Amino acid sequence: MTDKSGDKAGMTFEELTPGYEFPAVNYELSASLISRYLKAVDSVGGEFVSPLAIAAYAMTAMTNFLSVPSGAIHASQELEFFKLVPVGSQVKCQAKVARKIARSQMRMLVLELNVWDQHDEKVQLGRAMVVLPTQV
């Protein structure tokens, strides 16, 4: 989804509330998708998808629903991994707003992210903090 300027359109910081759940996103961890990740991180693959690749694609999928202004900083990330996922698997990810903080010139979002495989078994969960510049 893009706006007229070509930037991604999504919910703004002001529109979000703690507890808000973004729509779930399903995608395939195809060999071609994973090979692009492996090339970007200068690594070789195997039969299973790197847990960090799953986290990276899950965060990317979730940003389609969030308007992230330039100057935003992905300040921290905590991840917990539960199982290996074979290349070619389908996964579902969903995020929710855990905290929304606005103080003076700083705005922060803490997002919780969950990922399940095609058998609805939890693959990973995580929390990310994003610092957003105030709009002038």
Please enumerate in sequence order all residues whose Cβ is within 8 A of that of 15, keeping only pairs 6 or more positions apart, or say none.
Answer: none
Stretch among 3-7, 75-79, 86-90 having the lowest mean pLDDT: 3-7
Question: Which neighbouring-strand residues pair with 127?
Answer: 78, 112
Residue 110 confidence (pLDDT) above 90? yes
What is the spatial distance between Cα 121 and Cα 78, in angstroms, rounded to a whole number? 20
Q: What integer is the mean pLDDT of 65-72?
A: 88
How many CA atoms are closer than 13 Å to the CA of 56, on its beta-carbon side?
13
Write down all domains in the chain, each with its CATH number in brackets.
21-133 (3.10.129.10)
pLDDT digits (tens, 9 = 90+) for 6-45: 344 689 999 999 999 999 999 999 999 899 888 888 888 7
pLDDT of the residue at 59 = 87
pLDDT of the residue at 134 = 81
- pTM of the full predicted structure? 0.83
For 115, other C-beta atoms within 10 Å of its C-beta total 25
